[in-house]
Chain A
Amino acid sequence: MNMRQRNSAWLIALTVCGSAGYVLLADCDPRLLEIVGLSLFVSLSALCIGALLGLPLGAWLAVSRFPGRTALVVALNALMGLPSVVVGVLVYLALSRSGPLGSFGLLYSPTAMVIAQSALVLPLIAAVARQIIEDAWQEYAPEFSLIGIGRLHAVGLLLADCRFSLTVATLAGLGRAMSEVGAVMIVGGNIEGYTRVMTTAIALETSKGDLALSILLGCILMTIILGLNVIAHALRTWASRRYG
């Protein structure tokens, strides 16, 4: 079997296992489906927001030069490691009725969870995008400046040029969102049937001593995250073959 056939075989095997697991779940418990569905919804929404804001931010930072830029870059890199509970507490205080954004009544809802996870994922995507684009920028900068490409146009071109590496970076952000528990627990409240996601469900079932269910949920979570990584790898390989 050559490399391409082997990769396809892996992908097929994974899809089959994943689907089998999914079907088993559906028979098992509709609440489980609800939990898995909400996890995907919250994390994917947070990812969209994080990418829409983070990619241009990282790109702009990569091509800009201004006093204090280095400090900003270092701060952004540090924010990548922001603990999820810290984000949770900050968003909680902001969204609480007694807080500045309280009038929207967003606390303990999926919206609050999306906001919190977006805050987690945004610095990660921005920081990685900045690095990727700055590396490309080193290569292109002399010619761009000669041609007279403006900064905004350069950002657009670099985002298009690095699109495959950026996709992988974005998928890394998705992994972070799906596996965190601190932020969604605090701002979502782990309300049954409303704000319970895979990670908070695992925490709850473990605390109730129902370890079997926790492990099952953990396996599903790991399968999804593994699937994401397989996709990322396949995408990268295909892209380098097709686009150089």
Chain B
Amino acid sequence: MFPLRISGLCCQPNGRTVLDGLDLELSGEGISVILGANGSGKTLLLRLLAGLLPADGGTIRWGGAARPDGRLAMVFQQPMMLRLSVHANVEFALHPQALSAAERNARTNHVLARVGLAHRTGDCARLLSGGERQRLALARAWAMRPRLLLLDEPTASLDPSATEAVERIIREIRTDGAKVLMSTHNLGQATRLADDVVFLADGRVQEHESAQRFFARPQSAAARAFMQGELPWRIAFEH
């Protein structure tokens, strides 16, 4: 499944070019953070990797194969919640795997404890707060024991304490052995979590560096501008 090689990826949803010849190579370890301004194509890239929509050009190779041979899980910005209990909202995701009911139950309880939702197992999922929902969605993904976990701006709408809880869980998932690929526009979060950083702008990968090197000295002008908070304003004036 790894290394993941993307070459010349293009995507024009609704006629507007968002990704324009994107090249990227990712290893199978650690947390890779996709950084970029709003509209730079972070979510689109994740969806393309998840196979939710077809690309208009370019290739994606998973360790040489056309399809990933390990399990993929994704947590969306607004994760879906069935009108069922917290427990059921995790357990149902395990049915496609060949597990007994007891095993599913055990795994569900285990991940719910690790994300700190064990005390709410029987409650209706739709009544959870935003932070709790994200933790539930992470629990669902984690219970599946994915090889690759895709996260689309997981803490975009959360307060600092909820954000901290979610970040802790993401680190634990990485420790468990999954590769994490997440998008964010929160620089602080990127500095806290990233092992390596992928910076997206103008439909392409402008930089792909280890986090240390990127934050110490970004190579591209766009990245520097982004870090200084200027990028969105520059785009508005130049176009």
A→B interface (CB under 8 Å): 139-140, 142-143, 145-150, 153, 157, 160-164, 242-244
Complex formed: what's the CA distance from A243 to B148 in Å?
32
Asked if A160 and B50 make an inter-chain contact with CB atoms under 8 angstroms apart, the answer reads no
Complex formed: what's the CA distance from A153 to B144 in Å?
17
11 A-B residue pairs with Cβ-Cβ distance under 8 Å, sorted by A, are A140-B80, A140-B82, A143-B76, A143-B79, A143-B80, A146-B72, A146-B74, A147-B144, A149-B93, A153-B95, A244-B83
Asked if A146 and B50 make an inter-chain contact with CB atoms under 8 angstroms apart, the answer reads yes
Asked if A149 and B96 make an inter-chain contact with CB atoms under 8 angstroms apart, the answer reads yes
Complex formed: what's the CA distance from A150 to B92 in Å?
11
Q: CB-CB contacts of B58-101 with A at 8 A, as 1s and 0s?
A: 00000000000000111010011011100000001101100000
B114 lies within 8 A of chain A by Cβ: no
Beta-carbon nearest neighbor of B92 in chain A: A157
Residues in A with CB closer than 8 Å to B76 are 142-143
Contact of A244 among B52, B73, B124, B144 (CB under 8 A): B124
B156 lies within 8 A of chain A by Cβ: no
B110 lies within 8 A of chain A by Cβ: no
Complex formed: what's the CA distance from A244 to B132 in Å?
15
Asked if B73 and A146 make an inter-chain contact with CB atoms under 8 angstroms apart, the answer reads yes
Asked if B84 and A160 make an inter-chain contact with CB atoms under 8 angstroms apart, the answer reads yes
Beta-carbon nearest neighbor of A153 in chain B: B95
Residues in B with CB closer than 8 Å to A162 are 83
B126 lies within 8 A of chain A by Cβ: yes
- Report whether over half of chain B's contact residues are helix, strand or loop; otherwise say mixed: loop
Residues in A with CB closer than 8 Å to B51 are 146
Residues in B with CB closer than 8 Å to A161 are 82-84
- The 4 A-B residue pairs with the shortest CB-CB distance, nearest first, are A244-B126, A148-B96, A161-B82, A147-B93
Beta-carbon nearest neighbor of B93 in chain A: A147
Asked if A244 and B80 make an inter-chain contact with CB atoms under 8 angstroms apart, the answer reads no
Asked if A146 and B83 make an inter-chain contact with CB atoms under 8 angstroms apart, the answer reads no
Residues in A with CB closer than 8 Å to B50 are 146
Complex formed: what's the CA distance from A149 to B95 in Å?
7
Beta-carbon nearest neighbor of A140 in chain B: B80
Q: CB-CB contacts of B174-214 with A at 8 A, as 1s and 0s?
A: 00000000000000000000000000000000000000000
**Closest-CB distance, A149 to chain B (whole angstroms):** 6
Beta-carbon nearest neighbor of A241 in chain B: B127
Residues in B with CB closer than 8 Å to A147 are 73, 93, 96, 144
A145-B84 contact in complex given A153-B95, A242-B124, C-beta closer than 8 Å: no
Complex formed: what's the CA distance from A242 to B83 in Å?
10
**Closest-CB distance, A243 to chain B (whole angstroms):** 5
Asked if A142 and B83 make an inter-chain contact with CB atoms under 8 angstroms apart, the answer reads no
A146-B126 contact in complex given A153-B95, A161-B82, A161-B83, C-beta closer than 8 Å: no
Complex formed: what's the CA distance from A143 to B90 in Å?
12
Complex formed: what's the CA distance from A162 to B72 in Å?
27
Asked if B82 and A157 make an inter-chain contact with CB atoms under 8 angstroms apart, the answer reads yes
A160-B144 contact in complex given A149-B92, A244-B126, C-beta closer than 8 Å: no
Complex formed: what's the CA distance from A146 to B48 in Å?
12
Known: A157-B92, A160-B84, A243-B83. 16 other contacts (CB 8 A): A142-B52, A142-B76, A143-B76, A146-B73, A146-B74, A147-B93, A147-B96, A147-B144, A148-B96, A153-B92, A160-B82, A160-B83, A161-B82, A243-B126, A243-B127, A244-B126
**Closest-CB distance, A12 to chain B (whole angstroms):** 28
Residues in B with CB closer than 8 Å to A145 are 52
Complex formed: what's the CA distance from A84 to B214 in Å?
73
Complex formed: what's the CA distance from A38 to B52 in Å?
53
Complex formed: what's the CA distance from A146 to B84 in Å?
20
Residues in A with CB closer than 8 Å to B74 are 143, 146
**Closest-CB distance, B94 to chain A (whole angstroms):** 9
Complex formed: what's the CA distance from A150 to B98 in Å?
13
Residues in A with CB closer than 8 Å to B144 are 147
**Closest-CB distance, A157 to chain B (whole angstroms):** 6
Complex formed: what's the CA distance from A167 to B51 in Å?
35
**Closest-CB distance, B58 to chain A (whole angstroms):** 21
